Chain A
Amino acid sequence: MERCMAFDKELNLEATELRLGLPGIKESEKQPFSTIKSNKRAFPNMDEKSCGSKDGSKASHAQKCNQEIASPAKAQVVGWPPVRSYRKNCFQAKTMESEATSAYLKVSMDGAPYLRKIDLKVYKGYPELLKALEDMFKFSVGDYSESEGYNNGSEFVATYEDKDGDWMLVGDVPWDMFISSCKRLRIMKGSEARGLGCAV
Chain B
Amino acid sequence: MRKERTEISQDDDRSPPADLRGTDSAESSNKTRNCSGVGSVSGSTGPSSMEFQAPCPDQVLENVLENVLQFLSSRRDRNAASLVCKSWLRVEALTRSDLYIGNCYSVSPRRAMNRFSGVRSVSIKGRPRFADFNLMPIDWGAHFAPWVTAMASAYPWLEKVYLKRMSITDDDLALLAESFPSFKELVIVCCDGFSTSGLALIASDCRQLKVLDLIESEVTDDDVDWIACFPESGATCLESLIFDCVECPINFDALESLVARSPSLKKLRLNCYVSIGQLCRLIVRAPQLTHLGTGSYSSPDDIVPGEHASDLQSALASCKSLVCLSGFKEMLPDYLPAIYPVCANLTSLNFSYANIHADQIISVIFHCHKLQVFWVLDSIRDEGLQAVASTCKDLRELRVFPLDARGDTEGPVSDVGLQAISEGCRKLRSILYFCQHMTNEAVIAMSTNCPDLEVFRLCIITLHSPDHVTGKPMDEGFGAIVMNCKKLTRLAVSGLLTDRAFGYIGKYGKLLRTLSVAFAGDSDMGLKYVLEGCPRLQKLEIRDSPFGDAALHSGLHHYYNMRFLWMSSCRLSPKGCQEIVRALPRLVVEVIKDEVAECPDNTVNILYMYRSLEGPRNDAPKIVTILQ
> Which B453-491 residues have a C-beta within 8 angstroms of A?
459, 461-466, 468, 470-472
Contact A49 B470 (CB under 8 A): yes
B167 CB-CB contact with A under 8 Å:
no
Report the stretch among A35-43, A128-136, A169-177 that lies at the interface. A35-43
Contact A18 B352 (CB under 8 A): no
Contact A78 B434 (CB under 8 A): no
Contacts of B134 in A (CB 8 A): 78-79, 85
Q: Can you list 6 A-B contacts (CB < 8 A)? A: A22-B602, A35-B599, A49-B471, A81-B459, A84-B132, A91-B404
- Partner-A contacts on B (CB < 8 A): 130, 132-135, 190, 216, 218, 220-221, 223, 245, 329, 352-353, 355, 401-408, 434, 436-437, 459, 461-466, 468, 470-472, 496, 498-500, 503-504, 507, 516, 518, 522-523, 525, 529, 543-544, 546, 548, 569, 571, 573, 594, 597-600, 602-603, 605
Given A23-B571, A81-B407, A81-B459; A16-B470 close (CB under 8 Å): no
Closest B residue by C-beta to A186 = B223
Which applies to chain A's interface (DSSP): helix, strand, loop or mixed?
loop
Contact B465 A35 (CB under 8 A): no
> Which A123-166 residues have a C-beta within 8 angstroms of B?
none
Closest A residue by C-beta to B135 = A79
Contacts of B546 in A (CB 8 A): 18-19, 33
A44 to B382, CA, bound (A): 23
Residue from A38, A74, A82 in contact with B459 in the complex, judged by beta carbons closer than 8 Å: A82
Contact A81 B470 (CB under 8 A): no
Contacts of B500 in A (CB 8 A): 1, 4, 8
Interface centre among B401, B434, B522, B573 (most CB of A within 10 A): B522
Residue from A3, A50, A57, A79 in contact with B471 in the complex, judged by beta carbons closer than 8 Å: A50
Contacts of B355 in A (CB 8 A): 91, 94
Which applies to chain B's interface (DSSP): helix, strand, loop or mixed?
loop
Given A81-B434, A82-B133, A91-B355; A43-B464 close (CB under 8 Å): yes
A77 CB-CB contact with B under 8 Å:
yes
A115 CB-CB contact with B under 8 Å:
yes
Contacts of B603 in A (CB 8 A): 22, 36
Contact B518 A82 (CB under 8 A): yes
Contact B405 A35 (CB under 8 A): no
Residue from B504, B518, B569, B600 in contact with A1 in the complex, judged by beta carbons closer than 8 Å: B504
Contact B437 A90 (CB under 8 A): no
> Which A8-62 residues have a C-beta within 8 angstroms of B?
8, 15-19, 22-23, 33-38, 40-41, 43-50, 53, 57, 61
Contacts of B503 in A (CB 8 A): 1, 3-4
Contacts of B525 in A (CB 8 A): 7
> Which A77-98 residues have a C-beta within 8 angstroms of B?
77-88, 90-91, 94
In the A-B complex, list the 3 residue pairs whose CB atoms are closest, starting with the nearest. A49-B471, A79-B133, A4-B503
Interface centre among A4, A74, A76 (most CB of B within 10 A): A4
Contacts of A37 in B (CB 8 A): 544, 569, 594, 597
Given A3-B503, A7-B525, A37-B544; A22-B600 close (CB under 8 Å): yes
A22 to B548, CA, bound (A): 10
Distance between B423 CB and nearest chain A CB, rounded to angstroms? 26
A138 to B403, CA, bound (A): 39
Distance between A80 CB and nearest chain B CB, rounded to angstroms? 7
A121 CB-CB contact with B under 8 Å:
no
Contact B463 A43 (CB under 8 A): yes
Distance between A40 CB and nearest chain B CB, rounded to angstroms? 6
Contacts of A7 in B (CB 8 A): 499, 525
